[in-house]
């Protein structure tokens, strides 16, 4: 007779285990992450929320391999990031991770089309033309391809940044407050785009937001406070998220 142990694991696109990040040393040191373990399952749209200074951006940067942990581990798929040398880490970031920065980081002298394919051009590759073509329609920028960022609205610029993050067909896209500077209509466009990309292409998105309405687009919300994971909420609605956030508010 044989005994079979079946272990079912949901594949994770990214995760951190016992993540600690300390900035600085001595009296002025800041413990931005204080033992966070969290996983971001494949094909899931996760929102990260929490008060200012709670460690959201730090968590995203460390999970994406843009910064290193003081202790604990960060993984993209099955790869533990600290096991990689600089060259391999650069390749992994290029091939498997996309990042949408809050400030767009578009290059003003390049057109929309050039900005979208910039990471691929830097890598010396052409990328998948069909995918990039489809992305341009998904973000609704076909009639703006030869404009420069200065000729676009804030929402259009943010959509370029989102398209750029997805251009190399990464497994996981991290977006740090991608709707922070947008009016509600442009914000809805960007959120719709993130949600559709997750659902239609089984990609994984991790998004920081302060906005309960934005968080409600996600499949799950992860709450941070003081560098710790304090709660997770599946199937969020704006009202449920707002109620949870009230618990963080410090009476003034
Ligand atoms: N480079 C750095 N050097 C020193 N301290 C830092 C650095 N980056 C962040 N911190 C500190 O780490 C803590 C967490 O910062 P982080 O940027 O992760 O917060 P956040 O949750 O993203 O906040 P916000 O909502 O304001 O963007 C804060 O106390 C911050 O001051
Ligand atoms: Mg931040």
**CA geometry: angle at 88 spanning 129 and 41, to 5°?**
70
- Token pair recorded at residue 137: 């329609």
pLDDT at 1 over 90: no
C-alpha of residue 143 to centroid of ligand 1, in Å? 38
pLDDT at 184 over 90: no
Q: Name the pLDDT band for 83 (thresholds 50, 70, 90).
A: very high
- Are the beta carbons of 126 and 119 closer than 8 angstroms? no
C-alpha of residue 66 to centroid of ligand 1, in Å? 14
Question: What's the whole-number mean pLDDT along residues 129-142?
Answer: 85
pLDDT at 227 over 70: yes
The total of other beta-carbon atoms located within 10 Å of residue 128's CB is: 14
Residues with CB under 5 A from ligand 2 (ion): 57
pLDDT at 233 over 90: yes
Burial 230-250 (b: 16+ CB within 10 A, else e): eeebeebeeeebeebbeeeee
pLDDT at 8 over 70: no
Atom of ligand 1 at shortest range from CA of 59: 18
pLDDT at 5: 62
C-alpha of residue 1 to centroid of ligand 2, in Å? 55
Pick the ligand that lies closest to the CA of residue 34.
1
Average pLDDT, the chain: 90
pLDDT at 236 over 50: yes
Distance CA 23, CA 97 (A): 24
How many residues appear in the chain? 252
Say yes or no: domain 12-246 is CATH 3.40.190.10. no
pLDDT at 63 over 50: yes
Q: What phi and psi values does residue 174 have, to the nearest 5 degrees?
A: -105, 130
pLDDT at 4: 61
Q: Tens digits of per-residue pLDDT, 22-32? A: 999 988 999 99
Question: What's the whole-number mean pLDDT along residues 241-246?
Answer: 91
pLDDT at 121 over 90: no
Q: Domain ranges in the chain?
A: 12-246
Instruction: List, chain by chain if needed, residues with CB within 6 Å of any ligand 1 atom.
Output: 23-24, 30, 32, 50, 52-58
- Among 36, 50, 52, 53, residue to substitute to test ligand 1 (most atoms within 8 Å of Cβ): 53
pLDDT at 252 over 70: no
């Amino acid at each position: 007779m044989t005994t079979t142990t079946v272990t079912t694991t949901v594949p994770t696109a990214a995760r951190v285990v016992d993540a600690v990040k300390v900035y600085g040393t001595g009296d002025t040191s800041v413990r931005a992450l204080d033992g966070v373990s969290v996983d971001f399952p494949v094909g899931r749209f996760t929102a990260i929320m929490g008060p200012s200074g709670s460690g959201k951006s730090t968590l995203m940067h460390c999970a994406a391999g843009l910064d290193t942990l003081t202790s604990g581990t960060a993984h993209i798929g099955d790869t533990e990031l600290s096991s990689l040398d600089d060259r391999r880490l650069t390749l992994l970031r290029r091939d498997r991770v996309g990042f949408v920065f809050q400030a767009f980081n578009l290059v003003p002298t390049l057109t929309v089309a050039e900005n979208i394919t910039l990471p691929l051009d830097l890598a010396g590759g052409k990328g998948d033309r069909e995918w990039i073509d489809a992305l341009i329609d998904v973000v609704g920028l076909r009639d703006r391809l030869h404009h420069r960022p200065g000729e676009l609205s804030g929402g259009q610029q943010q959509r370029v940044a989102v398209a750029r993050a997805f251009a190399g067909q990464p497994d996981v896209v991290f977006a740090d407050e991608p709707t922070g500077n947008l009016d509600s209509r442009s914000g809805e466009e960007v959120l719709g785009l993130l949600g559709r990309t997750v659902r239609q292409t089984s990609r994984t998105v991790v998004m920081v937001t302060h906005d309960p309405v934005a968080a409600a687009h996600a499949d799950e919300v992860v709450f941070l406070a003081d560098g710790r994971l304090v709660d997770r909420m599946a199937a969020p609605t704006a009202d449920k998220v707002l109620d949870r956030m009230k618990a963080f508010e410090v009476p003034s």
